[in-house]
Amino acid sequence: DQQVKQNSPSLSVQEGRISILNCDYTNSMFDYFLWYKKYPAEGPTFLISISSIKDKNEDGRFTVFLNKSAKHLSLHIVPSQPGDSAVYFCAASGDQGAQKLVFGQGTRLTINP
């Protein structure tokens, strides 16, 4: 039972354009959502998060949007840079106060020069 899904295993975007990564969840008890960036053989790096009381959170080039009715969140990166090439994981927490994060499968983003 995959509670957090990233349906696109990969995404290719031209440098300077906007990258949009999507994530869907099924558990309505989740109340906190995070995006992590991961390079091979390294631990995930926290990027940005959003709580369920908001629908948008922005930090520099990164913006996360949350649509609770659709159980969908997205990460926008603009403008995309070559250093953004990595695997991006969305994660969710909050089910019955649980501390643990539930991760999606990840999306590999490639920024082309």
Partner 1 sequence: GAVVSQHPSWVICKSGTSVKIECRSLDFQATTMFWYRQFPKQSLMLMATSNEGSKATYEQGVEKDKFLINHASLTLSTLTVTSAHPEDSSFYICSARDRRTGVYDTQYFGPGTRLTVL
Rounded Cα distance, 62 and 29, in Å: 25
Q: Which residue in the set 35, 86, 103, 109 belongs to the binding site for partner 1 (CB under 8 A)?
A: 103
Closer residue to partner 1 (CB): 15 or 58: 58
Q: Which residue in the set 73, 89, 109, 111 belongs to the binding site for partner 1 (CB under 8 A)?
A: 89
**What burial class does residue 100 get, using C-beta atoms within 10 Å of its C-beta: 0-12 exposed, 13-18 middle, 19+ buried?**
exposed
Contact 16, 80 (CB under 8 A): yes
* Residue 104 engages partner 1 in binding (rule: CB under 8 A): yes
Region 17-46 residues binding partner 1, contact defined as CB under 8 A? 31-32, 34, 36, 41-46
Site string for partner 1, 68-87 (x = CB under 8 A): --------------------
Q: Strand 10-14 and strand 107-112: pairing?
A: parallel
* Residue 57 engages partner 1 in binding (rule: CB under 8 A): no
Report the b/e string of 22-44 with b at 16+ CB within 10 A: bbbbeeeebeebbbbbeeeeeeb
* Residues contributing to the site for partner 1 (CB under 8 A): 31-32, 34, 36, 41-46, 49, 51, 89, 93-94, 99-101, 103-106
